[in-house]
Amino acid sequence: MDRTPLAHLPTPLERADRLGAALGFDDGRLWVKRDDCTGLAGGGNKARKLEYLCADALAQGCDVLVTGGGRQSNHVRMTAAAANRLGLAATLVLSSNEPSHPTGNVVLDYLLGADLVWVGDRDYYGCEAAIDETCERLAAEGRRPYRMPIGGASPVGAMGYVAAADEVSAQLAASGAIVDVVVVADGSGGTHAGLVAGLGDHRRVLGVDVGTRPDLDEQVPAKATEVATLAGRAAPTGVVWLDHDRFGDGYGAPTPACREALDLAARYEGLVLDPVYTGKAMAGLVAARRDDRIAADATTVFLHTGGLPALFAAAYADWIRG
C-alpha cells in the first residue's frame, strides 16, 4: 500500500520514569510514543493516516480532499495542511456553527485557507451525512472529491497505525522489551483498529472512549479485522478492550480525572496533554494502573496523539487556571 511522506517519522519513544513511579509502575515500564511530534501544522495521529489517504487520493486522480469533524477537529486542521503540501484543495465540514471568535484549531483552519463548511451541531453520523452531501455537491460541480470519514478512519487511513505498531515494537525491541499494552484515545476508533491489526491481539490495546462515536464496540473489532486483511496480517485475536467511563458528560466535556491526568503528565514529565483526547486517555491509563487492569510490570506505551491546539480553545481557559 502506497504512502505519501507527510510526517516526521519515526516519532520518538520516550521513557516516563517519574510518572511511572508516581503511578506505581515498576522501573522502566511506562513509555510515551510521541505522535504529537509528527509535524504537519502542529502534529498528531492524523499525519500517519493522511500519508496513506493522500497516496490513495493522488492515485485516484482526485483534486479535493473532503472530510469533517467537530469544531476543534485536529483531523480537519491536519487535512488542510496535507492538501496544501500536495497542491490539492480541501473542503472541510465542521459540525458546529461558525464561532464569532475563533480559538484553537479554528485559528489554524483559517490560516491554512481551506474551504470550511459550517453545518451546525450534528451528531456523529449526521456529520458523516454532511460529508457525503458535500462530496455530491463538489462532484456535481465537476470536481473530483476524495472522501475521508471523520478522523480519517477508513481501512486505508488506519494502515498508518499498522506501521506505527511495527515502529514502536522495533523501538522497544532495541531496549530489550516488548509491548504489553498501548493506551490510546478513541474518537473514530481508526487508530485503535490499526494498532490492533499491527500488534495482532486486542488485549494489547486499551482504547479510551472520548465520547464522540456511539458504536466503538462494534466498529473497532470490525475495522481491525478489515485493516489486518488489507495489511496482509492474520486476523487479530482476543476481545476488544475499551474504557467507556472517562468521557464524563460527553465529547470535550471537562472531568476531574482528565484534569488530574493533565497535571500528572505536566508536572512529572513536562508533557502537555489536551483536554479532549489525550487527557482522557491518560485518565484511562491512570485508572487501569490503580485497579490493576494494567499490572505494575506491564510494558505500557501511552500513545500521545497530539491535540495541543484544543487546549487553547476559549472553553478551557478558566478550567485550566483552576
Ligand X SMILES: *Cc1c(COP(=O)(O)O)cnc(C)c1O
Is the CA virtual torsion 51, 56, 60, 64 positive or negative? negative
Q: Does the footprint of ligand X cover residue 91 (CB under 6 A)?
A: no
Q: Does the footprint of ligand X cover residue 187 (CB under 6 A)?
A: yes
CB burial string 100-127: b at 16+ within 10 A, e below: eebbbbbebbeebebebbebeebebeeb
Binding mask 248-287 for ligand X (x = CB under 6 A): --------------------------x--xx---------
Which residue do the cell numbers 516516563 mark? Answer: 16
Closer CB to ligand X, residue 116 or residue 138?
116
Q: Does the footprint of ligand X cover residue 185 (CB under 6 A)?
A: yes
The C-alpha atoms of residue 240 and residue 221 are separated, in whole angstroms, by 6
Taking contact as CB under 6 A, which single stretch among the options 115-123, 188-196, 234-242, 247-255 is the one that binds ligand X? Answer: 188-196
Closer CB to ligand X, residue 135 or residue 183?
183
Q: Does the footprint of ligand X cover residue 42 (CB under 6 A)?
A: no
- Annotated active-site residue 169? The verdict is no
Out of 56, 109, 167, 186, name the contact with ligand X by CB under 6 A: 186
DSSP strands (E only) in 70-111: 89-94
Provide the minimum distance between the beta carbon of 83 and ligand X in the complex, in angstroms, as a whole number. Answer: 17
Out of 160, 275, 307, 309, name the contact with ligand X by CB under 6 A: 307
Helix (H, G, I), strand (E, B) or coil at 233: coil
Tell me how many residues contact ligand X (CB under 6 A): 20
Cell of 4: 505519501
CB burial string 7-40: b at 16+ within 10 A, e below: bebbbebbebbebbebbebeeebbbbbbbbbbeb
User: Footprint of ligand X on this chain (CB under 6 A)?
Assistant: 44-45, 74-75, 151, 153, 185-192, 274, 277-278, 305-307
